[in-house]
Structure 1
Amino acid sequence: MVPNSLSVHKKNVCVMKHLFVADYREKGSTLLELLSAMGYQPSFDRLDVADYVVSGGYAIERKSVHDLVSSILDGRLVDQITRMCEVYERRSLLVIGSLKEAEKLSPNTSLLYSSLAWTTLKGVAIVVFEEEKQAAEFLRWLIQKSSEAEKRGFEPLIRRKPKSGRAELEVLNVLSSLPGVGPVTANRLLQEFGSLSAIFSASYSKLEAVVGAAKAKRLYNLFNLKKQQAKEKSLTDFL
């Protein structure tokens, strides 16, 4: 249980404690050092989900533009956002750096922005700042406003990663690997059909209603490829 005391005075700076929790791996980060200088000192814990949890159970996943791009490419972003949505009702993705830089780092800008669109559709607010100082100022006010709303004081709502939801993540990863299917389309297909078997056995007309004519044609032809035809074709034939 976290103590009820919320502040101590040190060197003429009012240091607010326990208004937010940071993952212990964030210790020493520039962002937290800036927040500490403003008088907002986090308590540290091992967070299975998110990098920070603010008073009232607001979860924040922090990423530099380099980490954002790499997490999109290796699938970590889908995993992290999915788990955060399973655990916290209020959440945001905090990106630090320039999106122009992210475009340069990404081999496919469509993948970058479709992933951000998918994140938004999952109910995660995306906040982008070019500098750590700006992000610290934002977090400072988020902490302050959320603590004002939490009249009873702050008891960090750290929640552990649930075991459920892994199957859905694996299904989304399978769908995202299909030609022309990104995170947004994968989520749309799963929401509409409910399972991989239903998607793979869907008629052309049903696929078209969800993903449009062009994608539906590619997917339907791929799903209904005969064994001999499969030997003669590669996935690039369906791009």
Structure 2
Amino acid sequence: MKLQTTHYHFNLLKDTERLSAFYEAIKNKGENPNINKKLALDLGCGSGILSIFASEYYEKIQAIDLDPKTIKCAEENTKNFNNIQIINADTTQHEFESTPDLIICEMLDTALIEEEEVLTFNQIHNKIKSYTEIIPYGIINKIEPVCMEDNIIMYEDLESQPKYNIIGESVIYDIIRFKDYINPVFDKTISFYITKNSIFNGVKITTYTLLNQKLICGPTPMLNPELIIPLPKELDAHQGETININLSYTMGKGLESIKINLI
């Protein structure tokens, strides 16, 4: 299948691990005879590829995106699919008229800090019923203490490979289920058990995507690459000790909202 895309969405399509994970999740819902399949929403639809996956199973798909260039590509890519409706709108402001049987929303990024996944789901929260299926189901966030070489926030992706060493045990610090109303403001004290003598000057956040309750996708180049964040000051860390930090950020408001303090 040849699709028209923006440069960004072309890179998304090249990430076959990400794409195949969403395909399997959509297929799993579509082949389930026990769920309704009248209306699916594809929020932040991009090229429209996930709507195309869903079109085989659902009577109608409403695919929504804000960017006009992206919408043109989606319209071209789905023009031969009579059950896909393309809508140019802001998903965080859009008034959703009907209760969907399925919501697909791949507006994901590490810890949901940069993208508007949480703001979108909170906007549509009153339309989510007990029978509404959601892809992805949720996320799991893990954090680790590190000794990092650079003093800037960096993603570990195809374009950058930050140098660091993990110096302590990992901590699962947040689990989010998208059916729930989510407070976008995260603020929590986290304790690290240090496993080696080192300078402690950063943390690494890893996000795992729960496509459904059984299918988990780890970080890929275009799906939640690991995020390395420097501390405001460095600290001598010793094997066997516990160090506490306070981590806060606002989901959907960008990396500049991140604050870390040693306690």
Same fold (TM over 0.5): no
Q: Which structure shows the bigger proportion of residues in strand conformation?
A: 2
Larger Cα Rg: Structure 1 or Structure 2? 1
Q: TM-score, with normalisation over the residues of structure 1?
A: 0.30
Q: TM-score, with normalisation over the residues of structure 2?
A: 0.28
Q: Which structure shows the bigger proportion of residues in helix conformation?
A: 1
